[in-house]
């Protein structure tokens, strides 16, 4: 996926110290709002899951929070249970895709050196083939 903003730039913060719910130039905020088309797999109140446009495995689904957080560290710091919900949604995808029993990988790329290309936290759910280690 193409970057929505340089990863070095933090997301705008509201006066309460929380990240904005939506960032106008963010690809994943646009998908969550229904403004950008995607193949939606699960559509929840606080999370949405959709197929990656450049799949790296037979199953490759992205799970994102509807609210904008720049990375998993910011999401974890928010501490409102949304990170747990995101991982729970990833498990639901594994069940739906029939890969729960055989195994799957959940990946959060964080920062430029971590391979994050879109500055909106997202979990990659990968499965349907054996995964190798190290991953890259």
Catalytic residue among 60, 68, 120, 122: 122
**What domains can be seen in the chain, in order of their start residue?**
27-127 (3.30.428.10)
pLDDT digits (tens, 9 = 90+) for 59-98: 999 999 999 999 999 999 998 999 999 999 999 999 999 9
Bridge partners, 126 (sequence order)? 60, 105
Q: Answer whether residue 42 shows pLDDT above 90.
A: yes
How does the average pLDDT of the chain come out, rounded? Answer: 87
Which pLDDT value is given to residue 136? 63
Instruction: Average the pLDDT over 34-48 and give the result.
Output: 95
Active site annotation includes 18: no
Q: Which long-range contacts (CB under 8 A, 24 or more apart) does 37-40 make?
A: none
pLDDT digits (tens, 9 = 90+) for 95-117: 999 999 999 999 999 999 999 99
Which pLDDT value is given to residue 21? 76
CB atoms within 10 A of CB 81: 10
């Amino acid at each position: 996926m193409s970057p929505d903003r340089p990863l070095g730039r933090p997301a705008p913060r509201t006066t309460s110290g929380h990240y904005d719910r939506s960032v106008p130039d963010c690809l994943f905020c646009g998908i969550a709002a229904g403004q950008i088309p995607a193949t939606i797999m699960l559509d929840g109140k606080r999370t949405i899951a959709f197929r990656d446009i450049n799949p790296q495995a037979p199953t490759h689904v992205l799970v994102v929070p509807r609210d904008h957080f720049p990375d998993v560290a910011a999401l974890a710091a928010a501490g409102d249970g949304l990170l747990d919900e995101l991982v729970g949604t990833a498990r639901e995808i594994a069940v739906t895709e029939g890969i729960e029993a055989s195994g799957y990988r959940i990946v959060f790329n964080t920062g430029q050196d971590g391979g994050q290309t879109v500055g909106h936290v997202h979990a990659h759910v990968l499965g349907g083939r054996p995964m190798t280690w190290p991953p890259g």
